[in-house]
Amino acid sequence: MIYLKSESEIEKMRESALIVSRTLAEVGKHIEPGVTTGKLDRIAEEYIAKENGRPAFKGYGPKGSEFPATLCISINEEVVHGIPGDRELKEGDIVSVDCGVEKNGYFGDHAYTFAVGECDDETLKLLRTTLESLYKGIEQAIHGNRMGDLANAIQTHCENEGYGVVRELVGHGIGKAMHEDPSVPNFGKKGKGERLRSGMTLAVEPMITMGSWKTKTLNDGWTVVTADGSLAAHYEHDIVIREDKAEILSTFDYIAELSDKNENNILYYG
């Protein structure tokens, strides 16, 4: 069931989304070779608490196998849902940081892939193309279009560059729950799929690989990696469908402000 949001609900969602945006930037300040993913997770949890929010990922999932951390931190061939711990970031890594927050009964959820120190041009192109595809999809997220229009824009942009578009994982509706209907795939045909309507709120999140689109899940039950070991990038925004142009509730502007301090991990922010 798809739930259209009122303007007052959208404002509550914006508040949660912007806490996520600021959290990602706070984490971004500390992304450098030698830092552990566990330290980044602690930084995020402390920041969210100061904002009077609740980490949405921590404790999420079926009883007995709940996600144990505030952030999903996925490195290199890890697509999504990486579990923070003792692993140290290394020069040339790419790291996707995905964060969710609940405040006042509404959720925000988005992600950014950082480059750690100096990365080669081929890797940077993957990140740039994936981020560009996010905005290509959002351009199609207007009242009256179909979900396939959004999905096809992402797929076409990435496949034209020779990249794989993950099929097993998709974006989602968001609001009073972190995951609501409808599903938001990153592949599809124009004119097909769910009709987009004003007031729909979506988390759009292309997950793109340098090789095959196929994935597998590790024995921890959470971490999804590329089946062929190729690099993967992941970006995500929360949006509202409007009549003429989608409204983006989240922002990468806080991350962009870090560029003067650390140009290497702020590749491109749209």
Which residues participate in the annotated binding site for a divalent metal cation?
98, 109, 172, 205, 236
Distance CA 144, CA 154 (A): 18
Residues with Cβ within 8 Å of 1's Cβ and at least 6 positions away in sequence, in order, are: 181
Helical segments of 91-212, H only: 121-139, 147-159
Q: Say if residue 182 is preceded by a cis peptide, omega within 30 of 0.
A: yes
Contact 258, 27 (CB under 8 A): no
- The values of phi and psi at residue 17, to 5°, are -60, -40
Contact 215, 227 (CB under 8 A): yes
CA-CA-CA-CA torsion sign (99, 101, 106, 108): negative
Query: Which helix (DSSP H) or strand (DSSP E) does residue 47 occupy?
Result: helix 37-50
Residue numbering of the annotated binding site: 81, 98, 109, 172, 179, 205, 236
Distance CA 200, CA 227 (A): 33
Q: How many degrees, rounded to 5, is the angle at CA 47 between CA 45 and CA 48?
A: 65
- The values of phi and psi at residue 150, to 5°, are -65, -50
Distance CA 238, CA 256 (A): 18
Residue numbering of the annotated binding site for substrate: 81, 179
Contact 110, 17 (CB under 8 A): yes
